[in-house]
Amino acid sequence: MAPSKVDDHPKDECGVVAVYSPTGDAGHIAHTGLFSLQHRGQESAGIAVSDGETIRIHSDMGLVNQVFRNGELKALSGSMAIGHTRYSTTGSNQQCNVQPFLVDGANGRLALGHNGNIVDPIALQKRLTKQWGCEFTSTTDSEPIAYLMANAPGATWEERASYCMRTLQGAYSAVSLTPDAVMGFRDPLGVRPLCLGKLDGGWVMASESCALDHLGATFLRELEPGEIVIIDNDGLRSTICTPEQSNRALCIFEYIYLARPDSMLSNRLVYSTRSDMGARLAQEHPTDADVVIGVPDSATAAAVGYAQASGIPYSDGLVKNRYVGRTFMEPDQKSRDSGVRLKFNPLPEVVRDKRVVLVDDSIVRGTTTPHLVALVRRAGAAEVHVRVCSPPIRWPCYLGVDMSTRAELIASHKSVDEIRSFIGADSLGYLSMEGLLQVVDGVQGGYCDACFTGHYPVPVQLELTDKLVLETAKSPAKKRQAYG
């Protein structure tokens, strides 16, 4: 799937949920949880349920309400369930890559859903094929993780999951399901989020705490990096696996864009953190202006923070059409212009004859911002000053967020002033790396900021520059074409 030219944000990764419910309605609970995580992936969805003996699964392409609309949940009764909603970061958007995966191995049958990217999928596939005769049906890095869990040595699931953590490199917040247990585990760096809650005598794990809120569950805590949580009829037990590399590296873009503003990260509301980013941005890049507006919805909190810190009034200046999806694709320039007008509509009475501060969370390829600036100018703005509550994105992500290739990232080859000229703004200011870290370090230290700095928390192989690496690897001709 080509990147959308209307939504020039980093593309979301995936959302996962795991449920243990003694009332036997785990499938329904997982379904509700997935609705809350739809923002993390809109390509496919699926739920696997166990009644203590048999694992049943339903998954398909589409949004959650499209995949589960014909009574499929009635067949998914049981006390344990996992769910997944996907945006493709390794492997294309096709049926064979829909999750959860259901595999058989030496440890029995197992279903798995994964958020993140591992950095050596080809080598892992080859190893699993040679060692255990695994046969892969997908082109995603999540299926190898499922087979690794299903065949890992060890007498207990704690030992098997620990073996997986010692084997895997990269980002993985994963949930898995066996006939008699449900599990969640988070990579030792803690790149992707995963949290734990209590619900009606049972338990819920989810990518974000907003899912627990919608379920009426009590948020307990986030899983620690390297933590393994296993829930069965004997209750919940947890263990920490800490390989040699035990530094923390939570994706800093969870704060900037990926997580919902009503979720908790590091025991703080994401909305509050984004508001503080906007306030810091106002300190670093003040300007004389009459009104502050934000690009809805992801930059609203930052725009409010900028307005409060600067003393410039805040107003809604752009209205978002929420029925234009994130995967809206435009083949040419005329369609891109039309696409931006379909997605956003300015409020002329708010911006007419005003000096406007337009706050956004990020500029990735630079395909949307020029059209937004032009929209605001056509609505009558006298000046448009763009403020971005993240540093310039100069490097792609290889750990579970689709940010395009480095050549496509506008800040990798243009200066700030060149970007300002390209987008047609009167001025442009990015939040500094120091400012961003000061805002989030007040919460907790230890982040992956590689998209800004190029300093990756794990060694990244060149082949990971292509999210279709497992597809091109199956065809020598395609591989030669892709990698020269």
Element (H, E) at 27: helix 26-36
φ, ψ dihedrals at 60, nearest 5°:
-170, 170
Contact between 186 and 224 (Cβ < 8 Å)? yes
Task: Determine whether 14 is an active site residue.
Answer: yes
φ, ψ dihedrals at 345, nearest 5°:
-135, 125
Phi-psi region of 190 (alpha: psi -120 to 50; beta: other; left: phi over 0): left
Contact between 64 and 109 (Cβ < 8 Å)? no
Tell me how far apart the alpha carbons of residues 482 and 468 are, in angstroms, rounded to a whole number. Answer: 10
Beta bridge partners of 452: none
- The 3 state secondary structure assigned to 297-342 is CCCHHHHHHHHHHHCCCECCCEEECCCCCCCCCCCCHHHHHHHHHH
Tell me how far apart the alpha carbons of residues 466 and 91 are, in angstroms, rounded to a whole number. Answer: 9
Phi-psi region of 78 (alpha: psi -120 to 50; beta: other; left: phi over 0): left
Instruction: For CA atoms 200, 202, 207, 209, give the dihedral sign.
Output: positive
Query: CA nearest 29: which of 203, 238, 218, 235?
Result: 203
Tell me how far apart the alpha carbons of residues 480 and 468 are, in angstroms, rounded to a whole number. Answer: 13
Tell me how far apart the alpha carbons of residues 107 and 157 are, in angstroms, rounded to a whole number. Answer: 9
The catalytic residue positions are 14
